[in-house]
């Protein structure tokens, strides 16, 4: 397989789709395509680049965004359902990962998915344990 499509969603309704290769991170591809995402360490030790997994496309069709928009009370999707890591994401707790939070600087994609990004997502997670 050549990679996966990741749709990035901002709180203002903007979306961008990036095709992420098997050895690339969302942050790397977004930067290459001129899509600005926040980041700092690029090593998984801060939470500047955090996103939240909102939907997974398991059958190859367009992810169903309707199930995830508007209602923030939807059940979280474990980030492991769509992402692996280059190294341990030390800035996220196990609970945060189970709730769908993912560090886009070190996460490798293994499923087409939708990820919420922006300051609201960042405010939902704790600070870096290293800062």
* Beta carbons of 57 and 82 less than 8 angstroms apart: no
Higher model confidence: residue 62 or residue 95? 95
pLDDT at 54: 97
- Place 126 in a pLDDT band, splitting at 50, 70 and 90: confident
Which residues fall within 8 angstroms of residue 102, CB to CB, at 6 or more apart? Answer: 50, 51, 52, 53, 79, 82, 83, 89, 92, 115
pLDDT at 75: 82
pLDDT at 96: 96
pLDDT digits (tens, 9 = 90+) for 11-61: 999 999 999 999 999 999 999 999 999 999 999 999 999 999 999 987 655
Reduced to 3 states, what is the DSSP secondary structure of residue 124? helix
* Beta carbons of 74 and 67 less than 8 angstroms apart: yes
pTM: 0.85
């Amino acid at each position: 397989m050549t990679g996966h499509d990741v749709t990035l969603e901002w709180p203002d309704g903007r979306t961008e789709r990036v095709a992420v290769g098997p050895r690339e991170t969302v942050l790397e591809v977004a930067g290459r395509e001129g899509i600005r995402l926040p980041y700092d360490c690029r090593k998984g030790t801060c939470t500047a680049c955090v996103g939240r997994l909102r939907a997974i496309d398991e059958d190859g069709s367009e992810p169903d965004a309707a199930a995830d928009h508007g209602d923030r009370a939807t059940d979280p999707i474990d980030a492991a359902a769509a992402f692996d890591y280059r190294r341990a994401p030390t800035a996220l707790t196990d609970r945060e990962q189970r709730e769908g939070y993912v560090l886009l600087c070190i996460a490798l994609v293994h499923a087409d998915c939708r990820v919420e990004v922006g300051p609201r997502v960042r405010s939902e997670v704790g600070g870096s344990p290293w800062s």
